[in-house]
């Protein structure tokens, strides 16, 4: 089976840096994947992307060495299994707040006896290899999100669930539940909890991940985060457009 190079980076103690895809475009996905990110993640929760478009985006990413990840719309086994069958090598699962929800997320990602994932890797065997079944339970990354106060209360128990490879902090939603403005970073309680998550992950042998930007990458890596999203297709387009317009109008 194709190696999940993001998990290999984690095992080596390195940081995986990724890009985020919100635009429903296989061309956008191909452009981002060719920029040498360790992974790019298709956002089916807040991005304008449905299953059929996500499938074509996974095909586009597959022309590169970049690992294809998907954030599914919800912690629902049908869509998790469907995106894995389509060739996702990692699944980010939003709003996981309890041991029960974390256990359900893992079960959807793993074949028996580690879970209840149904067998039918329509595209995964084409992308990842004919021996997909033998290795999928170890190569596919299961990544619940920590983004609520309830999840923080249950953090240690969530991290103890077998089969979780990493957790992924959603800073905007987490900030909101902590009574702060939605942002990539906040001081006060958010910063305290960010550091607590990193420390708890290290103690549990689970990778800490976070949604971020390039300016925050060094800070997160220094804190122990090994899965750091630093760029997005729509964000990059907006920044480039503004910069070009500023240059043109200043001449």
According to the model, what pLDDT value does residue 235 have? 96
Sign of the C-alpha dihedral computed for residues 21, 16, 30 and 117 taken in this order: negative
Confidence of residue 36 (pLDDT cuts 50, 70, 90): very high
Instruction: Answer whether 88's CB lies under 8 Å from 67's CB.
Output: no
| Residue with more model confidence, 122 or 155 | 155
Instruction: Answer whether 4's CB lies under 8 Å from 141's CB.
Output: yes
According to the model, what pLDDT value does residue 92 have? 99
Instruction: Name which of 7, 134, 158, 130 is nearest 69 in CA terms.
Output: 7
- Residue 46 annotated to the active site: yes
**Of 46, 112, 135, 220, which is the active-site residue?**
46
- On the 0-12 / 13-18 / 19+ scale of CB atoms within 10 A, 188 is exposed
Query: What is the distance between the alpha carbons of residues 233 and 82, in angstroms, rounded to a whole number?
Result: 24
- Per DSSP, 14 falls in state P
CATH code at position 115: 3.20.20.60
According to the model, what pLDDT value does residue 146 have? 99
Element (H, E) at 218: helix 214-223
Neighbours of 186 (CB within 10 A): 19
Token pair of 101, please? 């929800």
Strands (E), the chain: 16-21, 39-43, 67-71, 90-93, 141-146, 166-169, 207-211, 227-232
Sign of the C-alpha dihedral computed for residues 179, 75, 170 and 209 taken in this order: positive
pLDDT tens track for 55-76: 999 999 999 999 999 999 999 9
Query: What is the distance between the alpha carbons of residues 237 and 104, in angstroms, rounded to a whole number?
Result: 36
According to the model, what pLDDT value does residue 218 have? 98
Instruction: Name which of 66, 69, 124 is nearest 92 in CA terms.
Output: 69
Structural domains counted in the chain: 1
How many degrees, rounded to 5, is the angle at CA 49 between CA 47 and CA 51?
140
Question: Domain range spanning residue 181?
Answer: 5-250
According to the model, what pLDDT value does residue 30 have? 98
Confidence of residue 187 (pLDDT cuts 50, 70, 90): very high
Query: What is the distance between the alpha carbons of residues 24 and 239, in angstroms, rounded to a whole number?
Result: 19
Q: What is the pTM of this model?
A: 0.97
pLDDT at 82 over 90: yes
Confidence of residue 179 (pLDDT cuts 50, 70, 90): very high
pLDDT at 251 over 90: no
Question: Average pLDDT of the chain?
Answer: 98
Confidence of residue 210 (pLDDT cuts 50, 70, 90): very high
């Amino acid at each position: 089976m194709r190696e999940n190079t993001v998990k290999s980076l984690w095992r080596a103690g390195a940081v995986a840096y990724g890009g985020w895809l919100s635009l429903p475009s296989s061309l956008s996905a191909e452009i981002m994947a060719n920029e040498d990110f360790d992974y790019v993640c298709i956002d089916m929760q807040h991005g304008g992307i449905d299953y059929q478009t996500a499938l074509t985006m996974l095909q586009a990413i597959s022309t590169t060495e970049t690992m294809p990840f998907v954030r599914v719309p919800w912690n629902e086994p049908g869509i998790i299994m469907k995106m894995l069958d389509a060739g996702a090598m990692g699944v980010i699962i939003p709003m996981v707040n309890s041991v029960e929800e974390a256990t359900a997320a893992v079960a959807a990602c793993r074949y028996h006896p580690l879970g209840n994932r149904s067998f039918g890797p329509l595209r995964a065997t084409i992308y990842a290899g004919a021996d997909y079944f033998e290795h999928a339970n170890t190569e596919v990354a299961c990544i619940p999100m920590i983004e609520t106060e309830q999840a923080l209360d249950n953090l240690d128990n969530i991290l103890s669930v077998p089969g979780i490879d990493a957790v992924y902090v959603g800073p905007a939603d987490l900030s909101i539940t902590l009574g702060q403005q939605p942002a990539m970073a906040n001081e006060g309680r958010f910063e305290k909890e960010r550091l607590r998550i990193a420390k708890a992950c290290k103690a549990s042998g689970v990778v800490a991940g976070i949604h971020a930007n390039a300016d925050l990458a060094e800070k997160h890596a220094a804190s122990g985060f090994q899965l750091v999203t630093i760029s997005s297709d729509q964000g990059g387009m907006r920044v480039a457009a503004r910069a070009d317009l500023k240059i043109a109008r200043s001449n």
